[in-house]
Amino acid sequence: MQTLSFIQKKGAEITTVFEDLANLRITVFRDFPYLYEGSVDYEMEYLKIYSQAEKALLFAVYDGSKMVGATTCIPLADEAPEVRLPFEKAGLTIDSIFYFGESILLKEYRGLGLGHRFFDEREAHARSFGNFKTTCFCAVDRGENHPLQPENYRPNDAFWLKRGYQKELSLQSTFEWPDINESVSTPKTMIYWKRAL
């Protein structure tokens, strides 16, 4: 492991590291619970939304020239309709909420405090604008007994609770992606977590 370096990119600048981020997302999300059979083409399309939002942020970790961790955030109002929908249905003020995208690290870089750093960076970024009251993110719900759940699997719930986030079962979206070794996208339930900023 070389000395880790950190970068921040905002809005359109994020396009400069799209390929690194796409490849990292495909690698990390292949594991349980996402089991994502990703493609760079799909990723490039998905990531466009961040480059088109002036207040979006990417914070990434490099080991040498390799991106080994990354996290993103964006005003909820700039997110895709399927992300905004549960908040709109609940009558919440979209313009006061900042949405946190992925928080991903290669396995060998976990346990170094980078997960906390990712939350610190995103929360500070959202706070810097002065008008956001809430931060949120969502996580896939695979149920209790998924056949591909590893024996030693530990969800991130305890970590998120420690960060002050609460699981909001009333706020759910449905996202679609192909599971590993599949070519057809299938619907997945995503449950939101949120906290006051």
Beta bridge pairs of residue 19 = none
Q: Which residue has 């359109």 as its token pair?
A: 12
Mean pLDDT of the chain: 94
What pLDDT does residue 2 have? 64
Q: Judge contact between 173 and 82, C-beta under 8 A.
A: yes
SS3 for 57?
strand
Mean pLDDT, residues 106-127 taken together: 96
- In eight-state DSSP terms, residue 90 is T
The Cβ of residue 181 has, within 10 Å, a number of other Cβ atoms equal to 7
Q: Please say whether the dihedral angle defined by the alpha carbons of residues 39, 41, 45 and 48, taken in this order, is positive or negative.
A: positive
* pLDDT class of 39 with cuts at 50, 70, 90: confident
Could you give the domains of the chain?
A: 4-196 (3.40.630.30)
pLDDT in tens, 44-101: 888 899 999 999 999 999 999 999 999 999 999 999 999 999 999 999 999 999 999 9
Sheet hosting strand 66-75, strand order edge to edge? 4-10, 57-63, 66-75, 97-105, 134-140, 186-196, 166-177
Rounded CA separation 56/13 (Å): 10
Rounded CA separation 18/21 (Å): 5
What pLDDT does residue 1 have? 60
